[in-house]
Amino acid sequence: MKLDLGISSSSSLQAAVKFSKLADRDSLNCIWIREDPRAQPEIFTVASIILLETSTLKVGTEVTSPLDRNISTIARAAATLSQMGRERLRLGLDAAGPNTLMRDTATLLRRLWTGETVTFTSDRFRLRNYYARYKPSFATPIYFGARNPKLLALAGEIADGVILSGPKRYIEKAVAVVDQGLKKRKRRRGSFRFVAWVPTAIIDKKSDLRLAREAVATVLAVTPEAVLKMAGIAQGRVMPIKAMMVEKGVNGASRIIAEDLLQEVAIFGSPEEVALDLKSLEKYGIDEAIFGAPYGREPAKAIGEMARAWKSLR
């Protein structure tokens, strides 16, 4: 099992580069950049800069939507980054659309990357004799950021990996759903990667628990009903949190997070405890665990501590 780092595209570029260098230095496996559509930075530009500043770290975009960019733009951005990073790029796609959209997206990208001249028409895509003039013939792994069960199964069927985020019980069940898709493949599992992204925080003192509570409130407020259902969390327990978010913001909402929800949604504690908890996701079939926001009171320090704790597990 490998340790990844997660950042948001809304992080300052300075912080993103600093964290990437730390992750590269500490031999973490991958940095995932979560695209925040409200944030200024453009995810492929940020990923380019990170690839240029690191040497061995894989860099993943998590996740970009085929609805936000022309398919040709996604294809060539991935091609450029793959060249720049000597194939260290992982392309995360926001699997939030219908199954046909995601299936078409993955298929078209792979056809374009082999240098094929593509003519294809659907509700969403209209390509006519389009081909890449840049040097194609490479294979960027495609990861689906999926939550809906149908798309989770599709990820197993056609993607190279899946990024799961949500409560721990949800992650356990989601792996099983992805496995159903994997069974449809001729070669089962193979190099397919299961990646889990759970809010994580290094807690030095009791007051740091606030970080974990705030993260849980933020996550639960936007967690889809289907995910809550799979996690066995009653919608009624989340409604007050959502209401409090609107009324008093994250600070207010974090104060009403029950202990069991905190334990279910976040991983927190000393570096050693967090490392062990992340490692425990392996029993569900997770291949890579992401150490992501809020990290700890001092994020750079927390990343270093986490990397050391992870190494000591081996």
Q: Catalog residues that contact other proteins under the rule CB under 8 A.
A: 13-14, 17, 39-42, 44-49, 52, 68-73, 76-77, 79-81, 83-84, 125-135
Question: Which DSSP state fits 181?
Answer: H
CA gap 104, 111 in Å, rounded: 10
CB of 69 to other proteins, least distance (A): 8
Q: How many whole angstroms from its chain centre is CA 230? A: 19
Measured from the CB atom, the residue of 7 and 241 that comes closer to other proteins is 7
Measured from the CB atom, the residue of 33 and 227 that comes closer to other proteins is 33
The amino acid present at 17, given as its one-letter code, is V
Whether 76 contacts 62, CB under 8 Å? no
Structure tokens at 116: 């094929």
CA gap 155, 160 in Å, rounded: 8
**Among 147, 140, 106, which residue's Cα sits nearest to residue 125?**
106
The alpha-helical segments, DSSP class H, found in the chain are 13-25, 43-53, 71-84, 99-113, 149-158, 168-182, 209-222, 225-231, 235-254, 259-265, 271-280, 299-313
Measured from the CB atom, the residue of 71 and 265 that comes closer to other proteins is 71
Whether 79 contacts 138, CB under 8 Å? yes
CB of 147 to other proteins, least distance (A): 25
Measured from the CB atom, the residue of 83 and 263 that comes closer to other proteins is 83
CB of 107 to other proteins, least distance (A): 16
CB of 111 to other proteins, least distance (A): 14
Whether 240 contacts 257, CB under 8 Å? no
DSSP code string of 83-136: HHTTS-EEEEEEETS-HHHHHHHHHHHHHHHTT--EEEE-SS-EEEEE---S--
CB of 119 to other proteins, least distance (A): 9
H/E segment holding residue 254: helix 235-254
CB of 209 to other proteins, least distance (A): 33
CB of 298 to other proteins, least distance (A): 22
Structure tokens at 284: 């569900």
Measured from the CB atom, the residue of 87 and 204 that comes closer to other proteins is 87
CB of 86 to other proteins, least distance (A): 10
Measured from the CB atom, the residue of 22 and 127 that comes closer to other proteins is 127
**Among 309, 102, 297, 301, which residue's Cα sits nearest to residue 289?**
309
Measured from the CB atom, the residue of 127 and 163 that comes closer to other proteins is 127
Measured from the CB atom, the residue of 37 and 232 that comes closer to other proteins is 37
